[in-house]
Amino acid sequence: MLQTISFVLDGKIETIDFSKNYNPTTTVLNYLRSMPTHKGVKEGCAEGDCGACTIVVGELTHDDKIRYKAIDSCLLFLPMIHGKQLITVENLSRTKGVADILHPVQKAMVDCNGSQCGYCTPGIIMSMFSLYKNENNPTKETIEDALTGNLCRCTGYKPIIEATTKSCINNGVDQFTDDEKNMVELLLQIKKASKSIEIQSGKQTYFQPKTKAEALQLRSEKPNSIIINGATDVALRVTKRHELLEEIIDLSNIDELKKCVKTEYHIKFGSGMTLENVKSIAKEELPALYETLAVFGSKQIRSLATFGGNIGSGSPIGDTLPTLMAYNAEVKLQSIDGERRINMNNYILAYRKTERQQNEIITKIIIPKPSPKTIVKFYKVSKRKDLDISTVSGGFSITLNNNIVEAITLAYGGMAAVTKRAEKAEKHLVGKTWDRIFVEQAMETIADDFTPISDARSGAEFRAIVAQNLLLKFWSETTKMEI
């Protein structure tokens, strides 16, 4: 196993020896801030909310091209960039003779007066750069989505959006395009020399297996280790709580867990797929899942967080959980002893406690394609639309036959210690016509299924009223649809 990691920075391969200045949970943000020439990256919140620390990571695709992703570096542990290209704001401009030539996104920000105090500007520039490399003539909706994870308290966003619109018109062509062949060769050089990684650093041990088989063996031998993939949740234990994570198994470099397989009746998502990738696949065939992920965190977070990681946390306010219940999805769990599939309705046992055993990892999320008679919807109520935790969320599905309810799922997040279905309301509605009178009767039973709490996001009474009203909204929207 490798004791070091390697990545490309400033056009050359960098190798990190963790016996010296860094440990496996050093964030990429803190690594860059420790260097004299990469101070553009800033810490604003250390929890992925502000985007001041946004960087871009270049990854090799299966056809040996480079895909660029904007990511919050405060949530990214240093070993996770092994085999990747690390790009910061300092890498965007280039020198020609004695002149510095700005990248098109930088020049547009200057021309449109998009920066004032400048603290957040490098992060915004990096989000713009990622969009520049991936989208030509993006829509305003696409631009706003790309910038959702970047907070600015000086300018407002109008000139920033104008700068993005003005610059993203060159089909992604820039100096990185000219240098891509050389960059691919450097990344392939690292890839060919890569093995599984084991890092011993002080009291910490970090493993990064390359195959699923290795991961299952490690999990069997080290059942108390912390499993990470995107680490957007676990990273907060380091950045906010200052915990020492002694033993980590990082699944982020296992290609087998990043594949999606479509069959006639199912879509099978690898647990290591990022939520942004899942979102793009879900748009046409699983619209409720797409709607869920469209208001999940920011693009920087979704480009790092994984499907399996979100489900694995078992959070009662994890937005994907009620939606997956509504789709009647299954979770595939594997260990060295075999595999099993658990329906999402049986997966959550108690607060952050799931069916997954200590020697198991999540390998797939299997979603049946809904029948033409079934409608699935997702609703989220929060204090702001983007980058906010749900106060109450709902994943609802209904199967109708001549306006008679054949089956219905009403799964709520934020209403209990676990994501939970309104079983009494469901039982009341099955077999009845999908009419308002019966829906209003079912709304009254929701109070019997839940005892919500009051916290910083909302009071219990508000949550109870919202849960009832979401059911009425679901009825209102589905009665207008042809099935």
Q: What is the pLDDT of residue 223?
A: 95
Q: Give the closest residue to 467 by CA, choosing from 390, 406, 399.
A: 390
How many C-beta atoms lie closer than 10 Å to residue 107's C-beta?
15
pTM score, two decimals?
0.95
Residue 142 CB burial class (10 angstroms; 0-12, 13-18, ≥19): middle
Instruction: Place 394 in a pLDDT band, splitting at 50, 70 and 90.
Output: very high
Q: What is the pLDDT of residue 482?
A: 59
Q: What is the pLDDT of residue 71?
A: 98
Q: The dihedral of CA 420, 423, 425, 426: what is its sign?
A: positive
Q: Same domain, yes or no, for 114 and 241?
A: no
Q: Same domain, yes or no, for 264 and 401?
A: yes
Q: Same domain, yes or no, for 392 and 283?
A: yes
Q: Is residue 39 part of a domain?
A: yes
Q: What is the pLDDT of residue 483?
A: 55
- List, in sequence order, every residue forming a beta bridge with 433; answer none if it has no partner: 404
Which CATH number characterizes residue 331's domain? 3.30.390.50
Instruction: Place 1 in a pLDDT band, splitting at 50, 70 and 90.
Output: confident
Q: What is the pLDDT of residue 173?
A: 97
Q: Same domain, yes or no, for 379 and 296?
A: yes
Range of the domain at 183: 4-91+177-250
Q: What is the dihedral of CA 409, 410, 413, 418, to 10 degrees?
A: -60
Residue 425 has pLDDT above 80, yes or no: yes
Q: Same domain, yes or no, for 119 and 230?
A: no
Q: What is the pLDDT of residue 323?
A: 98
pLDDT tens-digit series, residues 153-203: 887 899 999 999 999 999 999 999 999 999 999 999 999 998 999 999 989
Output the six-digit token pair for 167.
Answer: 């610059």
Is residue 321 within 8 Å of 359, Cβ to Cβ?
no
Q: Is residue 98 part of a domain?
A: no
Q: Same domain, yes or no, for 304 and 332?
A: yes
Q: What is the pLDDT of residue 194?
A: 87
User: How far apart, in whole angstroms, are the C-alpha atoms of residue 128 and residue 300?
Assistant: 12
Q: Same domain, yes or no, for 271 and 343?
A: yes
Is residue 41 within 8 Å of 53, Cβ to Cβ?
yes
Q: Is residue 401 part of a domain?
A: yes
User: How far apart, in whole angstroms, are the C-alpha atoms of residue 369 and residue 372?
Assistant: 9
Structure-token match 């400033």, residue found = 10
Q: Same domain, yes or no, for 350 and 473?
A: yes
Q: Is residue 266 part of a domain?
A: yes
Determine the angle formed by the axes of helices 436-449 and 460-478, rounding to 10 degrees: 150
Q: Is residue 99 part of a domain?
A: no
User: How far apart, in whole angstroms, are the C-alpha atoms of residue 27 and residue 228?
Assistant: 14
Instruction: Place 102 in a pLDDT band, splitting at 50, 70 and 90.
Output: very high
Q: Give the residue-averaged pLDDT of 59-79.
A: 97
Q: End of a domain among 123, 151, 173?
A: 173
DSSP string, 74-121: GG-BGGGGTTSEEE-GGGT-EEETTEEE--HHHHHHHHTT--SS-SSH
Instruction: Place 95 in a pLDDT band, splitting at 50, 70 and 90.
Output: confident
Which CATH number characterizes residue 10's domain? 3.10.20.30
Q: Same domain, yes or no, for 41 and 118?
A: no
Q: What is the pLDDT of residue 154?
A: 87
pLDDT tens-digit series, residues 435-478: 999 999 999 999 999 999 898 889 999 999 999 999 999 999 99
Q: Is residue 360 part of a domain?
A: yes
Task: Say which DSSP state 454 is in.
Answer: P
Instruction: Place 99 in a pLDDT band, splitting at 50, 70 and 90.
Output: confident
Structure-token match 């060769």, residue found = 185
Query: What is the residue-averaged pLDDT of the chain?
Result: 95
Q: Is residue 411 part of a domain?
A: yes
Task: Say which DSSP state 13 is in.
Answer: E
Helices (H), 253-371: 275-285, 287-294, 299-302, 307-313, 320-326, 344-347
Q: End of a domain among 222, 250, 278?
A: 250
Q: Is residue 382 part of a domain?
A: yes
pLDDT tens-digit series, residues 303-321: 999 999 999 999 988 889 9
Q: Same domain, yes or no, for 110 and 72?
A: no
Instruction: Place 96 in a pLDDT band, splitting at 50, 70 and 90.
Output: confident
Q: Same domain, yes or no, for 214 and 278?
A: no
Q: Give the closest residue to 39 by CA, choosing from 51, 49, 52, 50.
A: 52
Q: Same domain, yes or no, for 337 and 424?
A: yes
Residue 21 has pLDDT above 90, yes or no: no
- Residues 6 or more apart whose CB falls under 8 angstroms from that of 432 comprise 404, 405, 438
Residue 40 CB burial class (10 angstroms; 0-12, 13-18, ≥19): buried
Q: What is the pLDDT of residue 98?
A: 81
**Domains of the chain: total:** 3
Is residue 277 within 8 Å of 255, Cβ to Cβ?
no
**For the chain, how far is it from start to end, CA to CA, in angstroms?**
56
Which CATH number characterizes residue 133's domain? 1.10.150.120
Q: End of a domain among 195, 226, 250?
A: 250
User: How far apart, in whole angstroms, are the C-alpha atoms of residue 120 and residue 115?
Assistant: 8
